[in-house]
Chain A
Amino acid sequence: MKRDDSYQGVLSRRNEIMKASVGIDYSRYETGIIGFDYERLMRETGYDLATIAAIQHSHGVGNTPLKELANITALVRKVAAPGRGARLFIKDEAQNDSGSFKARRASIACHRAKALGFTGVIAATSGNYGAAVASQAAKYGLKCIVVQECYDSQGIGQPEIIEKARACEAYGAEVVQLSVGPELFYTFLSLLETTGYFNASLYTPFGVAGIETLGSELITDCLAQTGRLPDGVIVTNAGGGNLTGTARGILKTTDHVIPMIGASVNLKGLHMADDHDFNRKSFTTGHTGFGLPFMTNPDRSDVPRSAARPLRYIDRYVTVRQGEVFFITETLAALEGIERGPAGNISLAAAFSLAQELPADHILIVQETEYTGAGKHHQAQLAFARSRGIEIRFGDPVTEIAGQSIVLPADIGQIRAVDLDLETIRKSAIKNQIRNHAQITASDFAYLQAETKAPAAFVAASLGELNIQWEE
């Protein structure tokens, strides 16, 4: 019988395509009614830290410099209360081959694909991960297809995404570009099925374990350079893998508790799958349109059980505005002589604000930068926004309306990270996990506690509000 390659036909084979293309039988890790054994999944399908570091070091990844931002710290202290203004450090991840921390994920995904005997890899991404997979695939002699959501219905592409396509092609990959819409998943599954390539998903244990070295390095580097552990690590958050992997690496390197802070660009009001909204945003990742849904429902990703589970590790979650990120990106160039891409500086914008809360002898680490160039540069992205009718002006960034305006702070004191309520996010995550079940087991209860990094009383109260029964 001929294979049904229609939209419905391909999607109905989703589970078998995934199983064949990732090499993991996720059903082995399911427990209780809603839970699964996350640590066992990571242990059995990932690699230990030393192995990951060895793989990465022989493939142009890792050991990036940790740089103190002395001038930006001095700027922070101009607006902080006396005695406040933590020392800011940045992990210059742009130094990885392909120019971002995503090389850490791609290196392990491609290593695994090669070890399993696959001849090629496929990744669905419009971001730096595409260039990272293409670069690593080149090193392993693997073929590579990158599937991008790139153009709106007018054929207008985000300059940042066009640049990513160029980078992927520079590394020899085939780039399949698509218009706006979640049906990207259909094309992605079709390509996996017809090529038999490895699914280099951002959300496999390999991809997330690859970031653990970043967390480990920043602890070791910070101790070596300052004799002190960081008092906080700020991570740009979208799909959650960056925060998850960094936190896991930190936990494997020190017994001390290091606060993990997530930061996303506030894109409230813009719909990610809307053809009209697509080119009205200036950030294609690191924003709340990914950050919130993936935090409250991590298994909405392209694998059955995502290895990126940020709510297990996050201590604080803040948002910043697009205008603040562009402002800090220019500040990094003007005061520190470091020109980097805007998306990597989301956490730096947040750090500028949060450092003001901490004593001057404390240390805050911004854990990434990304490469910059034509298309993915604040000049290019602001010019593109203006060409789409977005108003760009100086003022108080809280007045920015995503999709209508980009408000650059008129004064450095107006850069302010805004806290999101993690209790609400945790409750929403529990509700999503419960789906339509009326009762869960004791192991599910423990699973929900780990999933939300919350006390038993919080989980019990949340389940009570949903009228869910559980075994004691």
Chain B
Amino acid sequence: MIAKGTWVQIHRIILPVGSRSESIPEHTQKVPFEMWDKGWLNAASELGSFVTVTTATGRTETGTLIAVHPSYHHDYGDFVPEILEIDRIVKSALYGDGQ
């Protein structure tokens, strides 16, 4: 059980397949229109249950509880060797080979 007042992330489908805008590409028509938001849990709940939260601006929002203490995991990605090659190209062009 996740305690009331815990900072969580929720997910909700806003427009299911079939009720989306007509003027969108085929790939997008085939999938629902979804939303993710974060807030403090309004009542003790289980992961995966439909909950109500109070967001950072004080709004009430509803959705399925998908994460507790949601964190950031973006980074600089896997090594890209081509970046070193760019350095070699521009430095040798400017300063001469062997630089």
Contact = CB atoms under 8 A, between A and B. Distances in A.
Given A7-B15, A143-B58, A169-B56, A411 B89 contact: yes
A162 interface: yes
A392 B80 contact: yes
Contacts of B37: 174-177
Contacts of A183: 14-15, 20-21, 24, 33
A206 interface: no
A383 B79 CA distance: 7
Contacts of B34: 151, 153, 178-179
A33 to B, nearest CB: 26
Contact of A383 (B31, B76, B86, B90): B76
B97 interface: no
Interface string A273-287: 111110000000000
A394 B33 contact: no
A374 B75 contact: yes
A78 B91 CA distance: 12
Contacts of A65: none
B21 A181 contact: yes
Given A177-B37, A382-B82, A145 B91 contact: no
Given A162-B74, A181-B20, A335 B90 contact: yes
Contacts of A173: 56-57
Contacts, number: 157
B83 interface: yes
Interface in A379-431: 379-384, 386-387, 392-394, 408-412
B80 A386 contact: yes
A89 interface: no
Contacts of B38: 169, 174-175
B28 A375 contact: no
Nearest to A392: B82
A340 interface: no
B66 to A, nearest CB: 10
Given A163-B74, A182-B23, A383-B76, A335 B91 contact: yes
Given A174-B59, A183-B14, A384 B77 contact: yes
Contacts of B15: 7, 183, 186
- The winner among B25, B34, B36, B74 for most chain A CB atoms within 10 A is B74
Contact of B75 (A150, A380, A386): A380
Contacts of B55: 174
Interface string A41-70: 000000000000000000000000000000
Contacts of A377: 76
Interface residues of A, number: 64
B35 A178 contact: yes
B1 interface: no
A215 B99 CA distance: 38
A375 B87 contact: no
Nearest to B86: A330
A387 B74 CA distance: 14
Interface in A138-169: 143-145, 150-151, 153, 159, 162-163, 166, 169
A150 B33 CA distance: 12
B27 interface: yes
A408 B24 contact: no
Contact of A334 (B14, B25, B32, B87): B87
Given A120-B57, A174-B37, A335-B90, A180 B75 contact: no
Contacts of A74: 94
Contacts of A276: 25, 27
Contact of A187 (B27, B35, B76): B35
A163 B33 CA distance: 22
B28 A379 contact: no
A331 interface: yes
A408 B58 contact: no
Contact of A379 (B20, B36, B83): B83
B62 to A, nearest CB: 13
B87 A181 contact: no
- The winner among A179, A375, A378, A383 for most chain B CB atoms within 10 A is A179
A113 to B, nearest CB: 14
A161 to B, nearest CB: 9
Given A7-B15, A7-B19, A273 B72 contact: no
A57 B19 CA distance: 47
Given A181-B24, A380-B76, A412-B93, 7 more contacts: A153-B31, A174-B55, A174-B57, A177-B36, A182-B23, A331-B90, A383-B76
User: 4 closest pairs, A vs B, by CB?
Assistant: A383-B77, A153-B31, A375-B74, A174-B56
